[in-house]
Amino acid sequence: MNYGIVLRVLGILLIIESSLMAPSLLISLYEGEHDFYPFLITIIITLIVGIILSRKKGKDNLISAKDGLAIVALGWLSISILGAMPLFLAKSTPTYIDAFFEIVSGFTTTGSSVIENVEILPKGILFWRSFTHWIGGMGILVFTIALLPALGVGGFQIYKAESPGPIAGKMAPRIKDTAKILYITYFSITILQVILLLFGKMSLFDALLHTFGTVGTGGFGIKAESVGYYKSSYIHIVIAVFMVLSGVSFSLYYSLYRKKIRDVIKNEELGLYLGIVISSTLFIAINLYMTNYGKISLSLRDSFFQVASIMTTTGYSTADFDLWPSFSKGILVLLMFIGASAGSTAGGIKVIRILVMFKLIKREILKIFHPRAIIPIRNDGRVLSNEVIAGIYSFIALYMVIFSLSTLLVTLEGVDLVTASTSVIATLSNIGPGLALVGPTRSFALYSGATKMLLSFLMLLGRLELFTIIALLAPKNWRREM
């Protein structure tokens, strides 16, 4: 492994992180609250460490696949370790482990929280929590690779390790141009949502923070009732629609920009994604209406919002869905596993893998009647290679193994199985709230430090698509190459 180049890029990441804390510092200064010095101290420490590491030199400026994995995994870990300092120093969390859990949840766009009363937090801390969603949504590393060519460093291996989905492809010939395309789209959606929320008479501060959580599919609430605090159907619908938009692969927005409308319309993953959202919304709305939930319009509004929130792994809520009928909660749990589209900011298994899995099941059924038939698996008209199919098989199998074993470990806390299993899926799929003791009106504060660290690890596993972290646990990957 080229340790010099790994440390150098990590140093660049930390320098960027220190600059991204500046808005929170300015808000703290303006509000005159006690979190100013915690931010100032953290920025200075992060900047110093970043400068020291960025001066390291490798044997060359090439980044191998192994180096890319290390940069991505250690990058997320290092920005979380230092990013947690303001919360701990400002005493917004009782322990550093709590602060670490909170900020890992932020950067991984999970939204699970250990803070039981967010409304007492200073505005600088509130801004930083939600801003980490926006930073982590597209990935601070994707932003960094736009800068690497100027430093003489190649970045595609970082992009491949960072990209959510079974296939990482470039939208443009140069990787820095791909990063720019992604961020132009990201900024555009962000600005549009802020403007629409301002039309709904939401304050600029609240509009920004809710947009950070929506576009980044993170979901940290700044009110005890989450989005339900705002008694406005307009605000609920705007946020729900943008959650759905943020769960679409960003490559499709680029196709729209290039006026390739047919590619978007014929995209199989998009079709299945929207189909699941619509059908789940209707099933839950009918179930709620039949159980005396209220008007059908209210049932549709709340079901659409919650389906959009859970499937895109955002985690906002307008109602306590833990009180909903078992049928509705069962649909939401299924959506927790599925997640949204590959190439979006969302977590979960991803719709494309579910789509391919169903095609594989269909092929095996057909081969019972035609055992000698050669039936290729296609997606959008293209034949998927055996390597991609094997990767999808492996991912789903590993996902279920990690989910099962982690659930068993969490039950050692003495919690019920629903709480334990939804705690794991909520963190592994980067969703946020679960059910029962970790439902939408509760927090993860009940767990011990050891379990919080386990759940933090699951958040990182889910955000980096399992294999990035697992691959680095092999000791041979840390041997110095001659």
Q: How far is CA 426 from CA 26, 54, 217, 314, 318, in A?
A: 33, 35, 13, 10, 18
Give me 465's structure tokens.
């698509």
Sequence-distant (6+) residues with CB within 8 A of 335 are: 276, 280, 307, 310, 311
Q: How far apart (Å, rounded) are the C-alpha atoms in residues 376 and 320?
A: 45
Q: Is 337 exposed, middle or buried (0-12, 13-18, 19+ CB in 10 A)?
A: middle
Sequence-distant (6+) residues with CB within 8 A of 122 are: 28, 31, 33, 34, 35, 90, 92
The overall longest dimension of the chain from CA atoms, in Å, is: 74
Annotated binding-site positions for K(+):
109-110, 218, 313-314, 430
Exposure pattern of 146-165 as b/e (b: 16+ CB <10 Å)? bebeeeebbbbbbbbbbbbb
Give me 89's structure tokens.
């120093």
3-state helix, strand, coil in the chain (%, to 5): 70, 0, 30
Q: Please, are residues 436 and 315 in contact by the beta-carbon 8 Å criterion? A: no
Q: What is the DSSP string of 2-47?
A: -HHHHHHHHHHHHHHHHHHTHHHHHHHHHHT-TTHHHHHHHHHHHH
Which residue has tokens 């059910």? 435
Strand partners, 378: 383
Give me 320's structure tokens.
């306590």
Q: What is the DSSP letter of 118?
A: G
Annotated binding-site positions:
109-110, 218, 313-314, 430
Q: How far apart (Å, rounded) are the C-alpha atoms in residues 15 and 10?
A: 9
> Can you point out the beta strands (E) in 333-444?
378-379, 382-383
- State how far Cα 341 lies from the chain centre: 12
Q: How far is CA 40 from CA 26, 84, 118, 272, 343, in A?
A: 10, 13, 22, 47, 35
